[in-house]
Amino acid sequence: MSTAAHFKSNLRDIFFNLFEVLDIEKTSLGHGKYATMDGETAREALTGLEEFCQAHFATCFVSGDRVPLGFDGKGNVTLPPGFKDALTAYYAGGWNKLELPEHLGGYGAPPTVAWAGFELMGGSNAALTFYLLGNFMAKIVDALGTDDQKTRYLQNILDKHWGGTMVLTEPDAGSDVGAGLTRAKHVAGDEYLLEGVKRFITNGDFDHPENIVHMVLARPEGAGPGTKGLSMFIVPKFWVEADGSLGARNGAFVTNVEHKMGIKGSSTCELTLGADLPCRGLLVGGKHDGIAQMFRVIEYARMGVGTKSMATLSTAYLNSLEYAKQRKQGADLAKAADKAAPRVEIIRHPDVRRLLMLQKSFAEGLRALVLWTASIQDQVEIKGGHDNADAKAFDALNDLVLPLVKGYSSEKVCELLAQSLQVFGGSGYIQDYPIEQYIRDQKIDTLYEGTTHIQAQDLFFRKVARDRGQTLQRLLGEIKATIDGLAGVDALAVEREALTKAHADVGAIFMGMMGKTMQSVYHVGFQGNRVLFALAELVIGWRLVVGAQVALAKRATATAEADRAFYDGKLASARFFAKNVLPGIGLARQLIEAGDLDLMALSDDAF
Ligand code: ST9
């Protein structure tokens, strides 16, 4: 297979979600901050981006895996073949402007359109896509920086395409960010000197931009322990003077590049601050509010990681579908006794059909989850940012579902990619096909930006318990309204019944867990992931059924054969999920209710 051909996109389903289900032409485009973007522009942009990703991102997907990053031992990392050209083409085509707001010179696409675009980029070459984080850091400087910080950085990042990083992790501070030891010593005004060693820094160095802007968490002298004692600093590779001109090399040096299982083209670096040269940084916004500031970046990255997983499953599914339609092996199972029976394409085998529909329903279900979540983000901005009651309700809903996007999408896709490979038989295990690389490139998604259990704790303690279940209840109410609306719709009776049962099970799971948590928080430790998965499956099942309602209506009037087949496929995905996934929530409920603390009592030596 050619290196470019690995990426198979599904723009038809993206458009189905955006324009037929979420109806963003009515709900998002033309409103508030998105006043100037219309449906035609959004469709053209995504169609163009798809072509661009095929031509420039997909083409270096393999070289990014096979040709190692260069590292000179003096802080400088060189990119694999094709990466620099692809980044140059990306900026030359103005694709970075798609999600930038108009006041920063962008086209003002809402999150729905931007995350749809991200699916295309992350699916065609995730390692390369990460190098584009600088663009988002410009938004952070714009939102949080002082006027002086904006003068130094904003136009530089935007016009010169500087890189950006998020710098939290240290050798002994991974999930436990608050254990970070990097220190910051006040110099004057908002300027500090930083010292410490940071680890696993994505994009720590690369040889495309002239400068890289690191957003670093460090503890100022005298600050308290834990995350609340951390502040966020802008630490550039090259110092930037007050007039925005480039100054001397700053003391933030890459001192190692990790050799990883996957996303090898993405430089994951150890970053040493203040060892050989002083490392100067500016306190973001002149305010000690580091962890809250950094969570603006983390939330974006968590959404990005969940979307990357979904995008990987989608292209893996479409690759395995293509293979299953071409590969002939064995006779039809019903004629297997007849040794002279004709050989059939493997898509004719029931087990392969099951594997294909399993992937299809999850790829479409996860896309529906991601784009629905993005539509909530659209509304936060349209309703006036974070400052009014309506916007706050959408913001709380976005907070509630982000752990599903990040935690569930990454875990489920990790499991399902093995099934994508299974369709290929032994051929899937070799590098002639992209699935083995997909598996290696995707596994990281369950780990970085907060492991799956961090997402489960975030969901249970912060997004449900601390909120006294209010946002969860609103969400369950919305799902209930869909169930009620399906009364009498015979074609979706199976879906209605499965959703009704799953809805009741999830309600009972949360009620039961509140009681169990009163007895011991260890119950959340044991059952948290299961709770996260149960809610995610309910929400995905719901979104698939909402899509099925639309598909049912459109199917009735569709004249083109391709449209009829597409809507039949949507109905089939929803039905498969309702029959094969939603009933599993009942089992999860039983296991959660029966969950005990036995393992805590077992001696460590017994493991
Ligand atoms: C990493 C980098 O992993 C990986 C690279 C990813 C690259 C992604 C790139 C994305 C895309 C780029 C391309 C763009 C192209 C776009 C093109 C589009 C067309 N929400 O519970 P407490 C805050 S980096 C909001 O007491 P502990 C809050 O301020 C490493 N805020 O925590 C809170 O205070 P309060 C990532 C939250 O026990 C404060 O924290 N590392 C949330 O002190 C304290 O909260 C991680 O993710 C939240 N959900 O600390 C760390 N939670 O309560 C994982 C907390 O007063 N560890 N805050 O509001 C954790 O998350 C831990 O739970 C912990 C615990 C550190 C928060």
Distance 294 CA to ligand 1 centre (A): 7
Which segments of 520-560 does DSSP mark as H helices, in order?
A: 522-557
The catalytic site residues sit at 449
Q: Give the DSSP H or E segment for 375.
A: helix 350-382
Q: Whose CA is nearest to atom 20 of ligand 1?
A: 295
Distance 300 CA to ligand 1 centre (A): 9
Distance 374 CA to ligand 1 centre (A): 18
pLDDT at 323 over 90: yes
Cβ(93) – ligand 1 distance below 6 Å: no
Q: What is the pLDDT of residue 302?
A: 98
Distance 499 CA to ligand 1 centre (A): 32
The mean pLDDT of 224-233, rounded to a whole number, is 98
Within a domain: 57: yes
Cβ(434) – ligand 1 distance below 6 Å: no
Question: What pLDDT digit, counting tens, does each position of 143-192 carry?
Answer: 999 999 999 999 999 999 999 999 999 999 999 999 999 999 999 999 99
pLDDT at 522 over 60: yes
- SS3 string, 311-328, reads HHHHHHHHHHHHHHHHCE
Position 559, amino acid? T
The mean pLDDT of 253-262, rounded to a whole number, is 98
pLDDT at 244 over 60: yes
Cβ(469) – ligand 1 distance below 6 Å: no
Which segments of 407-521 does DSSP mark as H helices, in order?
A: 409-423, 435-442, 452-457, 470-485, 493-519
**For a pLDDT cut of 70, what percent of the chain falls above it?**
99
- Give burial (CB, 10 Å; 0-12/13-18/19+) of 67: middle
Cβ(52) – ligand 1 distance below 6 Å: no
The mean pLDDT of 525-531, rounded to a whole number, is 98
Count other Cβ atoms within 10 Å, centred on residue 179. 13
Which atom from ligand 1 is nearest to the alpha carbon of 201?
Answer: 2
Residues in the chain: 607
Within a domain: 181: no
Q: Whose CA is nearest to atom 21 of ligand 1?
A: 462
Contacts of 292 by beta carbon, 8 Å cutoff, 6+ apart:
none
**For a pLDDT cut of 90, what percent of the chain falls above it?**
98
Distance 406 CA to ligand 1 centre (A): 12
Handedness of CA 317, 323, 329, 335 (dihedral sign): positive
Question: What pLDDT digit, counting tens, does each position of 555-576 carry?
Answer: 999 999 999 999 999 999 999 9
State the first-to-last Cα distance of the chain, in angstroms, to the nearest integer.
46
Q: Please, which pLDDT band fits residue 386 given cuts at 50, 70 and 90? A: low
The mean pLDDT of 324-337, rounded to a whole number, is 97
Cβ(132) – ligand 1 distance below 6 Å: yes
Q: Whose CA is nearest to atom 34 of ligand 1?
A: 292
Cβ(177) – ligand 1 distance below 6 Å: yes
Cβ(99) – ligand 1 distance below 6 Å: yes
Mean pLDDT for all residues in the chain: 97
Nearest Cα neighbor of 185 from 64, 118, 299, 278 is: 278
Question: What pLDDT digit, counting tens, does each position of 367-377 carry?
Answer: 999 999 999 99
Q: What is the CATH number of the domain that holds 33?
A: 1.10.540
Q: Whose CA is nearest to atom 53 of ligand 1?
A: 462
Within a domain: 504: no
Within a domain: 451: no
Question: What pLDDT digit, counting tens, does each position of 54-106 carry?
Answer: 999 999 999 999 999 999 999 999 999 999 999 999 999 999 999 999 999 99
Cβ(100) – ligand 1 distance below 6 Å: no
Q: What is the pLDDT of residue 384?
A: 83
Cβ(375) – ligand 1 distance below 6 Å: no
pLDDT at 270 over 80: yes
Cβ(476) – ligand 1 distance below 6 Å: no
Q: Whose CA is nearest to atom 1 of ligand 1?
A: 449
What the block records as the tokens of 289 is: 């509010």
Q: Whose CA is nearest to atom 22 of ligand 1?
A: 227
Q: What is the pLDDT of residue 5?
A: 86
Cβ pair 53, 7 in contact under 8 A: yes
Distance 138 CA to ligand 1 centre (A): 18
pLDDT at 3 over 80: no
Within a domain: 133: yes
Within a domain: 44: yes
Which atom from ligand 1 is nearest to the alpha carbon of 451?
Answer: 54
Whole-model pTM: value is: 0.98
Ligand 1 pocket test: pick from 170, 206, 401, 462 the residue with the most ligand atoms within 8 Å of its Cβ: 462
Question: What pLDDT digit, counting tens, does each position of 404-463 carry?
Answer: 999 999 999 999 999 999 999 999 999 999 999 999 999 999 999 999 999 999 999 999
Within a domain: 94: yes
**How many domains is the chain built from?**
1
Q: What is the pLDDT of residue 4?
A: 55
Which atom from ligand 1 is nearest to the alpha carbon of 299?
Answer: 20
pLDDT at 2 over 70: no
Within a domain: 47: yes
Distance 452 CA to ligand 1 centre (A): 13
Per-residue b or e along 307-340, where b marks 16 or more CB atoms closer than 10 Å to that residue's CB = bbbbbbbbbbbbbbbebbeebeeebeeeeeeeee
Cβ(429) – ligand 1 distance below 6 Å: no
Q: Give the DSSP H or E segment for 253.
A: strand 252-257
Handedness of CA 98, 207, 86, 299 (dihedral sign): negative
Domain that holds residue 117: 3-143
